Structure formats: structure tokens, C-alpha cells
Structure 1
Amino acid sequence: MSTINCAGKLIDLSTPHVMGIVNITPDSFYDGGALKSDKDILNQVETMLADGATFIDIGGYSSRPDSEDISAEEEIQRVIPVIDLVKKHFPSAVISCDSFRESVIARALQHGIEIVNDISAGHLDAKMMETVGNAGVPYIMMHMRGTSQTMKSLTHYDDLVLEINQYFAERVHVARASGIKDILIDPGFGFAKTTQQNFQLLKNLDLLHFHGLPILAGVSRKSMIYKTLGITASEALNGTSALHMKCLDQGAKILRVHDVKEAMEVIQLHQSIQNN
């Protein structure tokens, strides 16, 4: 599957694309609380689109380990005004909503989002896949265990890559049965995985092509980078770029990032290698 249909916008994934992260949360691990006004949000989205982002991923629930659990209503109050704001000022932008709650996604779909990004692959809300299937939009399903509050204790695997592939095989089957046509898989770096497991997964990312589905990679400024290098998330851009090149080498089709310009440069250089 090289093309996905985002509410009538066909996007060819034969060349990798970038998804820009817009966190409307006070406690995200890197940029929590950075966007305090409509102007801040519009400036960030404008920069991301100008730098080459294809997708804008809007989320109102921090999924970092030990994050605060908020109500669905509060999450809706965070994301819907931002979706409306971005839609108004950048009507051609392809907007994704990052939520594991069907009630949030159902509302976001009414406000025109074109992709659903679910960290739980439907595990945390049984209604999710039916709603996405009825909407006819692409669905990004991520591998994780438990919740943001419990996942740090759920890192035992007998065979990491095999178990992740089994997880996706089952979840893809459920998604197809729910009428979802365009499915993307996200291996879930940092979610119920130790630093060592994250690197093992990255090294073997190409084994997830077993499903024949596009892979989205989200390593941007994550702890696997800054803990390994003994730095902070704000210092992890160079490390992020290094791992982005590896993701592309392993066949990732979308990079989900905080820093669009640099990710686009990695894609451009990777394409130059591939084409020569």
C-alpha cells in the first residue's frame, strides 16, 4: 500500500513523509506547555508546513510514562478548538488527531480531521475501530501495553519483535473487520519498552514489513536518545536525526517529529543515497 486516502486527499507514501507534532498538553516530555496561545499554535503549524510537513498531528493527552490521566471532556476541550483553528487558517493541511478515546475521535472527525492516531490500537476503547471504519479515514495503530500510567512495568518479552508482529497481526485483523481500509503501524518506541528494547526494535524494524503496511516511526527526542547520550530532550535533535536515518533505512514511510526541517533534510539525504 503506497497510497493512503485522507478524506479525498491521496498521499503517495512511496517517498517518506513527515508528521509534525502539535501537543496541546501542559506535561508532554519535550514541549509540554509550550503552546500558550492561538498565535503560538498557528506559528508552529505554519513553520511545520513551510518546512515540509505533510501531516499535522494534534494531541491533548500526554502519553509519556506516568503522565496525568485527564477526562475525555477535558481532552476534547483541548483539541477541538485547535483543530478548528488550524482548519480555518490552513485548510489544505492534513490533520491527524492523537487520541485513544473514541469519544474524542468521534468529535474530531466531525470537525474534519483526516487521520486517526491511536496509541492503543483500539485496546483502550472498544468502539474506536468501528468509528474509524465508518469514517473511512486512515488509522495509525501503535504497539503498547497497558496505559501511560502502567506501561513502564510491562516490559517483559520472550521475543520482542515476534510478539509485536503477533500484536499487529491480531489488531490489523480487527481493523479490517471494522471496515478500515488504510492502516499504518507504529512500533511504539518508548511504550512498554526499555531503552535496550527500543534499540533492538529499531535494529529489526524491517521485520515489521511482514504486514505489508506503511510504518510510522516516532523516535523524536525520546529518552532512548537522551538517556543513552546523557543529555536532555532539548539537546536530542542531533541524536534524533541520526536515528531517523536508520528508520528510513529500515523502510519507515512517516517520521513523526518535533523538528520538521531537520527531518526533511534527513529524508532528502536518504533519497539521494537511494537514487544513486
Structure 2
Amino acid sequence: MDWLISAIGGAVVVIILRDVFHTLWHPTRHGGLSRLVMTTLWRLSSRGRRKRRAAGVAGPLGMALVVAMWALGVAVGWAVMYWPHMPEAFVFSSALEPTEHSQPVDALYVSLVIVGTLGLGDIAPAAEWLRVVAPLEALVGLALLTATVSWVLGVFPALARRRTLALRICHLRRAGVADEQLDCDTGATVLDALAADIARVSVDFAQYPESYYFYDGTGDTSLARSIGYAAELAERMGRAKHPGARIASSVLGAALDDLASVLDERFLRTGKTRPEILGVYARDHGGGM
């Protein structure tokens, strides 16, 4: 029975590590548990009168909750492994009575000390197998800390690229560029650069899906609000006389199709056409098209 309980704890650890792997290191997947946390928080924040203000903290708060879930899940899983083998498989300091410090809370304490690499030493593993398993928990704790820092450092540059793209589209819109001004080599270059930026954002959404749940507001840095103008440019320049401009508009249209596909497959799941998908994306982020 003791080993069955320990096996349950090991299963909890495996589930958490699988979620960490798919969220942080698999380029086209999103962990099931982390996705559930992020989507639930996003939907809750999008309700009510203060939905815009609440949506603004959904992304950062969601990431914090996911990291807390991972850390607590690992600690609890290892604690469940330790508990059935206390006190006989552990050594205690002279100030502690082993039979009085062998409860589940004590197992959780030991697990937290090990995963946090605190090394307090008042309760330490003595059994041979625990002297192997416990350092593994410490290594997992260090890996989780490093992975979390890498996650944050990856998500926020992705957000900066998305907001920069939105601002660039707004600049084009405010400039009131006419069709004849884009119907040339320079116009083709502008459209090509815009398509490249949209493709980069599509990759960001695929690689860092949690970035979707960061609200950009309704200003010029909101891609949900501005992406419709990029689609309008692609349609307008599809009738250009300059062959380079027509090719660039086709590339821009393809980039928009890819963006809509990523948004629909990973977040919206509407099964609709590109204009409809972009419209749903705009409404989901509080922007109109």
C-alpha cells in the first residue's frame, strides 16, 4: 500500500513535468493544465463591466498561477512519495521526535525544502532509494526556476513584436497612403516587410500561445484592432498594375491567412473564413474591425 501511494505521487510529478515540457519546450503544443488555467482566467476577465481592466492582468496573472501550479504540483507529488516512508526512511535532528514529525504536512515540508534547495537538514532522507530520488527533486526545482525565467524572457519580446506590428499598421493607416503610392517598387517593399512582420507574429502565437491572453487594449498597439487595415491593403493592392506590388499583396494575403489559421486552430476554433476569424479575434480582444 505504501508503494502504491508513492506511485500516485510519482504520477502527479510526471503529469506536471509533461505540462511543463509541452508548454515551454514543445514548439507547437500548449500544455493541457497551463492552457486550462490561461483560458479560464481569460474568459473570466472578459466578463462584466470592467472586462477591459480585468483582461489587462489576465496574461501576467495567468502565467504566475501556472508557475505556482507547477511548483506546488511538484512539491505535493514528491511529498506523497515521501509520506508513506516516514519516519523509518528518514533521519531527524536531535531536536525532533520522529513519530511526531511524520505527518503529511511534514512530508510536504521536506519536499519544499528539497525542491527549494534550502538544505536545512533537520529532516533528511536515509534510505538508499530516497538518497537518489531527493536530489532529483532538487534538480527539477532548479530546472523549473530556469525554465520559468526563460519563459518570461521569451513571452515579453513576442508581445513587443506584436505591438510593434500593430503600431506600424496604424502608422500606414494614419498616413492615408493611396493605391497609386503603393503601386511601385517602394510599395512592394512596404507590403513585403509587413507580410514578414505578420509571419513573425504568427510564429509567436504558435510558439508562445500564452501571449494571446495578454490584452493590448484598444489603442494603436492593439493588433486585434489594426489587423483589418492590413487585410484591406492586401485586397486593394491585388488590383495593382505594378507586378511587384501584386506579388507583394499576394504574399501579404498569404501571411494573413496563416495568422488567421493559427488563431483559429489554437484559440478561437470557429472554422470560418479569414475575415470572420480576424473579426472574432478583434472582438475577443475588445477591438472593432
Which has more radius of gyration? Answer: 2
TM range (shorter): under 0.3
Indicate the structure with greater helix content. 2
Q: TM-score, normalised by structure 1?
A: 0.23
